[in-house]
Copies of this chain bind each other. A is one copy, B any other.
Amino acid sequence: MMPPLEVAGRCQRVRERFDQAEALLISDLTNIRWLTGFTGSNGWVLLTPQDVVLVTDGRYGDQATAQLAQAGVDGRVIVGLSGAAMLDALADEVSPYASLGFESAHVTYEQFQRFQGLFKATLVPVGGVVEAARRHKDAGEIARMAEACRIADAALSEVLLDGLEGRTEAQVRNQLEIRMRELGAEGPSYETIVATGPVNAARPHHRPTNTVIEAGHTVIIDVGALYDGYHSDMTRTFFVGEPTPQQLELYEVVLAAQCAGVAAVETGVSTAELDGVCRDAIEETGYGEWFSHGTGHGVGLLIHEDPFINRTGDLKLQVGDVVTVEPGVYREGFGGIRVEDLVVVTENGCRVLTASPKDSPCPPSPPTT
């Protein structure tokens, strides 16, 4: 039995963190979902000292009312039948307040100009208030992400049983995504990456093509599931046929860096320090320039969210953060190798949510018929 999401207290927790203006306007839809349970594709939430007001369009009125009630959020829903009507309704609701915080990373320049024209309140740019609160995943959120990981693990193990050689990247992607659906996922957590050979696997975010997986290739598979709005994220790398000494050497380099990264995850570690653990491990072997991206990122209702783990990261890990640890090396001509786990920061280190084996880059042999 999945523990429930504890949505009801979230608006109050954000209010308690926020003192920069009398009221706060939330425009980011992920923040709105987290605060209220509303999953529609259009809306604003106004958080006042007493009230939660959701403004949406005609497609979502009934749905919004039901979703807020189900989440236990005591809020009002206002429907505007056009974008202009929504803005007018919002202006009415804002009118009692002298100052209004807005999400400066989500409000566009154009929207800001419109708000300035319509609202009498002083507009106060605010950064990441809800995002900071979203970092702490509750038991219901972690259970959903663990289930998403379980689904992706199961799908990957089934695909490997069928073997990789001779299939196209797109065929492997399709099988993974279909099996994740059948295993209970809403869908893939992101565009599944299957990247094979000296060119495609050298691109960390390659999109699957009709390239055939052949002996001698490195194959990067980066796959996650979406479960009740929550994402998982995992990467494994495989060699097809007998691996070359360089392939094996670099796999050991990346795996050692990744394991060191996972071992270093604990509360209080800064995101730059954690990035450094993986980066130093790879740089010491002389392959530092092949590691062309950050070490990881937070995961939750978004596949990429705070805390981002890279050279310039200045956040400290805290209990309830769910983050990836995913160093990799890439070079056109060689291909690429990445190993990635999803972990949740606990009181005493971390718990790894992804369970696919990573000790060897050689996939199990497909059954012979």
For A127, what are the chain B residues with a Cβ–Cβ distance below 8 Å? Answer: 110
Q: How many copies does the complex hold?
A: 2
A344 to chain B, nearest CB (A): 25
Label chain A's interface by main secondary structure: loop
Interface-facing stretch out of A89-97, A177-185, A240-248, A352-360: A177-185
Chain B residue contacts of A207, Cβ below 8 A: 39
Residue A136, interface by CB 8 Å:
no
9-residue interface stretch from A9-17, A54-62, A157-165: A54-62
Within 8 A of B (CB), among A187-238: 187-188, 191, 199, 202-207
CA distance A220 to B57 in the complex (A): 19
Interface pair A82/B311, CB less than 8 Å apart: yes
A76 interface residue per 8 A CB criterion: no
The answer to whether A108 and B106 touch across the interface, beta carbons within 8 angstroms, is yes
Whether A122 sits at the interface, judged by CB under 8 Å, is no
Shortest distance in angstroms between A58's beta carbon and chain B's nearest beta carbon? Answer: 3
Q: Does A312 contact B (CB under 8 A)?
A: yes
A139 at the interface (CB under 8 A from B): no
- Interface positions, chain A 60-74, Cβ under 8 Å from B, are 60-63
Measured between beta carbons, the chain B residues less than 8 angstroms from A40 are 205
- B108 adjacent to A108 (CB under 8 Å): yes
Question: Which of B191, B199, B203, B292 lies in contact with A81, CB distance below 8 A?
Answer: B292
Count how many chain A residues have C-beta atoms less than 8 Å from C-beta atoms of the other chain: 47
User: Of the candidates B107, B174, B203, which one forms a contact with A182 in the assembled complex, judged by CB atoms under 8 Å apart?
Assistant: B174
Measured between beta carbons, the chain B residues less than 8 angstroms from A107 are 108-109
A39 nearest CB neighbor, chain B only: B207
**Residue of B at shortest CB range from A175?**
B181
Contact B293 A59 (CB under 8 A): yes
Q: How far is the CA of A83 from the CA of B60 in the complex (A)?
A: 36
Given contacts A62-B203, A63-B205, contact A82 B310 (CB under 8 A): yes
From B61, B106, B292, give the contact of A61 (CB < 8 A): B292
Contact status A202-B108, CB under 8 Å:
no
A312 with B82: CB separation less than 8 A: yes
**Least distance between A332 CB and chain B CB atoms (Å):** 6
Any B CB within 8 A of the CB of A105: yes
| Docked-complex contact B58 and A293, CB < 8 angstroms | yes
Q: Is the CB of A75 closer than 8 A to any CB of chain B?
A: no
Further 15 A-B residue pairs, CB within 8 A, beyond A63-B203, A107-B108: A58-B204, A58-B293, A59-B292, A59-B293, A60-B205, A62-B199, A63-B205, A82-B310, A84-B312, A102-B109, A107-B109, A109-B112, A109-B125, A178-B181, A178-B182
In the A-B complex, the 8 residue pairs with the closest CB atoms = A58-B292, A59-B204, A104-B110, A104-B109, A63-B203, A105-B110, A109-B112, A59-B205
